[in-house]
Chain A
Amino acid sequence: ETGVTQTPRHLVMGMTNKKSLKCEQHLGHNAMYWYKQSAKKPLELMFVYNFKEQTENNSVPSRFSPECPNSSHLFLHLHTLQPEDSALYLCASSQLRPGNEKLFFGSGTQLSVL
């Protein structure tokens, strides 16, 4: 148990569906992240939120829409996805400390787009 909970663990959706991934951290951290991990590829950073404000969008297509209502919760809203978006989506949180930050990851949501 890392203190970062992601739901659902598995999700299958069609290309016309709308779904949301949820992440919750119980660690009192002030930064949250979304990462994507495609099969046999390194993790790719998607979004960064510091103190609920989005500070980084790594050229992510608009069919992925993040939402951070407070420092403990992070959502990733999905719509009109493509089969190549099938991947493991990982949420992480950290306490902002230059150089010494440790990221705590959830177990991820395994997404399949049909």
Chain B
Amino acid sequence: DAKTTQPNSMESNEEEPVHLPCNHSTISGTDYIHWYRQLPSQGPEYVIHGLTSNVNNRMASLAIAEDRKSSTLILHRATLRDAAVYYCILRDGETSGSRLTFGEGTQLTVNP
């Protein structure tokens, strides 16, 4: 899988929007961009994914750059429960059952 780069940590205030960046300059045309998050003492949970167009769901929005070399996960109103490690991962769109490789991720701290 192609590599992604994320900041080690970010901080936000409660009820403010959070923009979590991810760089993936070696992304291939068939790679999907996936985001997972891991709350303390839990397994990771799926957040959102996309290929080319921006995506929205009940948890977050995903903004994908036009050249697809970067993306941004947007939490519209951060809550204390959003404090977690956020992982940006690329998945090959031409194979299934392949490994999901986690990097270091971004540790998000939400201040009350």
Contacts and interface: CB of A to CB of B under 8 A. Distances in A.
A90 B43 contact: yes
Main secondary structure of the interface of B (DSSP, over half): loop
A103 B94 contact: no
A55 interface: yes
A2 B46 CA distance: 10
Contacts, number: 71
Chain B interface residue bracket vs A: 20 to 34
B7 interface: no
Contact of B32 (A48, A90, A100, A105): A100
B99 interface: yes
B93 A103 contact: no
Given A103-B44, A108-B43, A98 B49 contact: no
B45 A99 contact: no
Interface string B76-100: 0000000000000001111111011
A81 interface: no
A99 B99 contact: no
A30 B61 CA distance: 28
B96 A2 contact: no
Given A42-B105, A99-B51, A99-B92, 9 more contacts: A31-B96, A42-B102, A43-B44, A90-B44, A99-B30, A100-B93, A101-B91, A101-B96, A103-B36
Interface of A: 2, 4, 31, 33, 42-43, 45, 48, 50, 55-56, 58, 90-92, 94, 96-108
